[in-house]
Structure 1
Amino acid sequence: MNLVSAVYKTSTEQAEKVAYHFGGKDTTYAEFEDSVSRLASALKGLGVEKGDHVAFLLGNTPHFIISLYATMRIGATAIPVNPLYTPDEITYILRNGDVKAVIALDALLPLVEACVQVFPDVHSYVVCETKPDTVEKMQALPQSVKEKVYSFTQLLAKSEPNVKPDEIDDDETAIILYTSGTTGHPKGAMLTHKNLYSNARDISDYLQFNSKDRVITTLPVFHVFALTVVVNAPLLTSAQLIIVPSFSPKEIFRIGREFQPTVFAGVPTMYNFLYQFSEGDPDDLKSLRLAISGGSSMPVALLHNFEEKFKVQVSEGYGLSEASPVTCFNPLDRGRKAGSIGTNIVNVENKVFNEFGEEVPVGEVGELVVKGPNVMKGYYKMPEETAVTIRDGWLYTGDLARMDEEGYFFIVDRKKDMIIVGGFNVYPREVEEVFYSNPGVLEAAVVGIPDPNLGEEVLAYVVLKDKSITVDNLHEFCKKHLVKYKCPKEIILLDEIPKNTTGKILRRNLKDQALSRT
């Protein structure tokens, strides 16, 4: 069994049930299956063969989900790409990923035109119409470009819906996800059909997804967190997706009132915005049975504040692209622990190793390692990096963690983000937690910068909710809660902390900004 055959089975058995809602329109599982089959037929007609790579420059629209399942259905490999990436970033992925076809939003039509000239090996570009003048603009393209550009809508209309799922080996690559990384070019994590199916199945069971669930899909679907938790897992259980093009607190509360959603998944930044939204009525989200947080650690103060205001338990989990992504989650059948990423999900094993590859005692900090059917087959065209990341069957995550006596794991920090002040380890998250415990602070991010005497020093960036608070006030607050070497030497006030499209704080940008001042 794989995702393609499992969702096909759901679509035939639950044909009249709503698969997703988007733009004021419901689409049934039968209609979804019809579109997937038609696009699969169209892709074959364009010359996309088993094993070919198809890149998606798509956001949160049905085009993405239809394209994903159509591509996998014919045995091709999907490469989701953030459509907000710069042309240079997109160019790297298209070239490194040996892409043969591209499916893109119409807003990127100028980029598509440029790519036709740059990438002769890309034989087809499918443009997804979201605006009424898109077809007209496509017709105005130079003839040499038009020969490779096709309309998504027209392809579906002209194709026959008769493509059943191909026979696919479990170990064939279903998706290549390019991880952002901390340095250098992104690496393409190759996830197999077995990886994707096992993780979607196991997290669906763990979180008790069912056919009555209505899942808010506002996390970027090109990111692996959303792909598994709010797309693949719900589709396996014939749940309904409520597709939201982009996150907006106002829109989430409107959806809450109108659709009575049962599941919301977001990153801590989203929870902070929902909590701080002055117009938000907690009653609008009273239908939620489950609130999921991932992507980065949620400050404990925010977690408690959100739960108290909205009367719903927030369950944190953990994952990474290389593990499809989920490895840990706070269980629903017993108490969750604030600040913890939870326990092993079924079929996945997490451990904490020291630098010698040995498991450390309970309570000690080391690197989190993972083993299970969800672990990637490797990085595309990067055997050396693969060998460093996967050793003796264990995936080395690069995250520092500890495990308590009950098997709950706690992320201490990114291994590469740890700050060493005069020989003492300082974990940015620990300092950030102190800032978040101050009711006048909206956001905080901590980085380490070079110091000639101590090796490194702590630098904090803070966004204030209470504008009457001064930097001196914040320094005094830190001194009350932190040992001296953990206290920031400098605190910089910002109007906004830079984040990527998934809401993760861009520490490297902040660090570069700090270093540029010296």
Structure 2
Amino acid sequence: MNLLSALKETVRLCGDHSAYVFQGEKTSYKEYFELVTEFASGLNQMGVKKGDHVALVLGNSPEFMIGLYGALKAGATVIPINPNFTPDEITYIIQNGDVKAIICLDSLVPLLKKIEQNLSYVNNIIVCPTSEERLSVSSFELKMKTFLDVLDAGLNESPDISINDDDTAVILYTSGTTGKPKGAMLTHYNLYSNARDVVSFLQYSKNDKVIGCLPMFHVFCLTVVINASLVCGSTILISTKFNPQEVFQISNQYGATVFAGVPTMYNFLLHFEKGNPLDFKNMRLCVSGGASMPLSLLEKFEGKFNVKISEGYGLSEASPVTCFNPLHRPRKAGSIGTTIMNVESKVVNKFGEEVPVGEIGELIIKGPNVMKGYYKMPDETKIAIRGGWLYTGDLARMDNEGYFYIVDRIKDLIIVGGYNVYPREVEEVLYKHSDIVEAVVIGEHDETFGEVVKAFVVAKKSNLSQEELLMYCKEHLVKYKIPKNIEFLEELPKNSTGKIVRRVLRKPIISRNN
């Protein structure tokens, strides 16, 4: 079984059920599968062969979903790319990923023209029009077709291409904290097994209506929203991007039952003045991932909207989900929950030996969801996967009931005069201050202590002073954990999913203090 065969089974069982809703228009599973088949056939007629790499540079849209499964059905390997990336970032992935065809927004054509000299081995560019204006694409005319051209050229039956479980379905380029992004190769079975196990663990069904506002090119959305829904027949409520007002409106209009987001999204929803708890009246489950959720945010959100948040954990190299807080056992605030079925997790020391319950070590993962390796990076693969275990690079601990707690990234650990400081514990204190909206902590070089703690915060009121906040920290933190510097910002830097990006804060930025 893989994603394609699972989709066929969903069509057989509930073909007339809505696969997705976009801008008020519903598309049934039968209609969706027909579009996927036609697109796969069109790709094959364009010369896309089994094993070719196809870049998908699109935002949230039906075209993304059709392009993704159409390319997989054509036997291709899909490389999702953030359409907001810079020319250099897109060029690197296209070149490193040996891309043969690109499916992109028409707004990206000028960018592609700038890097045309790097696209000599790209045979086809498929453009999704977002306007009725004719594009000036003379230099690409031989390579370019519109998305509709490919659909129109496709047949109702695409060639029956054999798909093996171990074939690479998707290559996800990880953002990484240092060096160039690495392409995590996820097989058809990696992705199917993780979607299947998420469905089972979170009890998705065809009655669920899942809000899709996470970026579709991101693995969180790819598995928890798209693949999991298609495996069991849920309806995806597609939103082009995260917008609090739209989330509440969609939830109310269609009776959404599942929302998946990162902590920053929950923070925006909580502070949205027109956010009405009645808009979430049908919501049975909220899931959070991508970063640790501050306890105060979790408690305030649940209190206001009367819905439990199941915090989980994952990473691109694991397709991505490994843990979620279970639905029928106590939800432990601050925990990423227990390991989902068919996946193993344990905490180990630097020698790879499992540490006692409660002790901190590196979290490692094993299961059918773990990638086959990094594309063209055998040495990095050997470092990441040892003895069949994926080493996550995250510090964690496990309690005596099997719940895991992420302490911090190993690379984010701050050592002040020989003492370990985990950024999250300082951030938790800051978030509890009534005037703090967001906070993040990093280590800063210091001649005396090696490193000291530096905090960046977004405050509700402009007259909150550094001195006032430091006094507050002294009441709740031991001396070496107290930030030496606190910088006030209008907003914290975030990536496409809304996750706070620490590495940007290590560079000069404009703050409220300036």
Distance in 2 of aligned mates of 1:96 and 1:11: 36
Name the structure 2 match of 1:81. 81
Which consecutive unaligned segments of at least 5 residues does structure 2 have? none
Moved more, 159-168 or 56-65: 159-168
The one-letter code sitting in structure 2 at the alignment partner of 1:266 is G
Structure 2 counterpart of 1:229, from 208, 211, 224: 224
Describe the SS at the equivalent of 1:339: coil
Describe the SS at the equivalent of 1:264: strand
Q: 2:95, 2:118 within 8 Å by CA — same for their partners in 1?
A: no
Describe the SS at the equivalent of 2:451: strand
State the TM-score, normalized to the length of structure 1: 0.97
Question: Could you tell me how far 1:256 is from its partner in structure 2?
Answer: 1.7
Structure 2 counterpart of 1:364, from 359, 364, 374: 359
Moved more, 464-473 or 61-70: 464-473
Distance in 1 of aligned mates of 2:156 and 2:174: 34
Distance in 2 of aligned mates of 1:436 and 1:165: 54
State the TM-score, normalized to the length of structure 2: 0.98
Distance in 1 of aligned mates of 2:485 and 2:509: 10
Question: Could you tell me how far 1:394 is from its partner in structure 2?
Answer: 0.5
Q: 2:42, 2:152 within 8 Å by CA — same for their partners in 1?
A: no
Question: Could you tell me how far 1:165 is from its partner in structure 2?
Answer: 5.4
Asked if 1:325 corresponds to 2:320, the answer is yes
Q: 2:41, 2:159 within 8 Å by CA — same for their partners in 1?
A: no
Q: 2:87, 2:115 within 8 Å by CA — same for their partners in 1?
A: no
Q: 1:5, 1:165 within 8 Å by CA — same for their partners in 2?
A: no
Asked if 1:11 corresponds to 2:11, the answer is yes
Compared CA separation, residues 42 and 57, structure 1 to 2 (3 A): same
Asked if 1:398 corresponds to 2:393, the answer is yes
Structure 2 counterpart of 1:501, from 472, 496, 499: 496
Name the structure 1 match of 2:411. 416
Question: Could you tell me how far 1:117 is from its partner in structure 2?
Answer: 3.7
Distance in 2 of aligned mates of 1:122 and 1:13: 39
Question: Could you tell me how far 1:12 is from its partner in structure 2?
Answer: 3.4
Asked if 1:107 corresponds to 2:107, the answer is yes
Asked if 1:191 corresponds to 2:201, the answer is no
Q: What are the Cα deviations for residues 293-334 of structure 1, in whole angstroms up to 9, with x where unaligned?
A: 000000000000000000000000000000000001100011
Alignment length (residue pairs): 512
Question: Could you tell me how far 1:129 is from its partner in structure 2?
Answer: 1.6
Name the structure 1 match of 2:41. 41
Name the structure 2 match of 1:343. 338
Distance in 1 of aligned mates of 2:116 and 2:37: 27
Distance in 1 of aligned mates of 2:155 and 2:67: 16
Distance in 1 of aligned mates of 2:403 and 2:155: 51
Distance in 2 of aligned mates of 1:466 and 1:214: 38
Q: 2:99, 2:122 within 8 Å by CA — same for their partners in 1?
A: yes
Structure 1 counterpart of 2:146, from 143, 151, 155: 151
Structure 1 counterpart of 2:206, from 205, 211, 225: 211
Which consecutive unaligned segments of at least 5 residues does structure 1 have? none
Distance in 1 of aligned mates of 2:153 and 2:381: 43
The one-letter code sitting in structure 2 at the alignment partner of 1:368 is L
Describe the SS at the equivalent of 2:376: coil
Distance in 2 of aligned mates of 1:125 and 1:506: 32
Q: What are the Cα deviations for residues 43-70 of structure 1, in whole angstroms up to 9, with x where unaligned?
A: 1011110010000111101111111111
Q: 1:449, 1:514 within 8 Å by CA — same for their partners in 2?
A: no
Q: Percent identity?
A: 57
Q: 1:129, 1:153 within 8 Å by CA — same for their partners in 2?
A: no
Name the structure 2 match of 1:473. 468
Superposed CA RMSD in Å reads 1.4
Compared CA separation, residues 352 and 514, structure 1 to 2 (3 A): farther
Name the structure 1 match of 2:246. 251
Describe the SS at the equivalent of 2:507: helix
Q: What are the Cα deviations for residues 419-442 of structure 1, in whole angstroms up to 9, with x where unaligned?
A: 000000001110000011111100
Describe the SS at the equivalent of 1:513: coil
Distance in 2 of aligned mates of 1:435 and 1:325: 29
Q: 1:352, 1:368 within 8 Å by CA — same for their partners in 2?
A: yes
Describe the SS at the equivalent of 1:177: strand
Structure 1 counterpart of 2:281, from 279, 286, 289: 286
Distance in 2 of aligned mates of 1:391 and 1:185: 22
Q: 1:12, 1:29 within 8 Å by CA — same for their partners in 2?
A: no
The one-letter code sitting in structure 1 at the alignment partner of 2:429 is V
Distance in 2 of aligned mates of 1:446 and 1:481: 16
Name the structure 2 match of 1:72. 72
Describe the SS at the equivalent of 2:486: strand
Q: 1:331, 1:342 within 8 Å by CA — same for their partners in 2?
A: yes
Asked if 1:126 corresponds to 2:126, the answer is yes
Distance in 2 of aligned mates of 1:238 and 1:37: 18
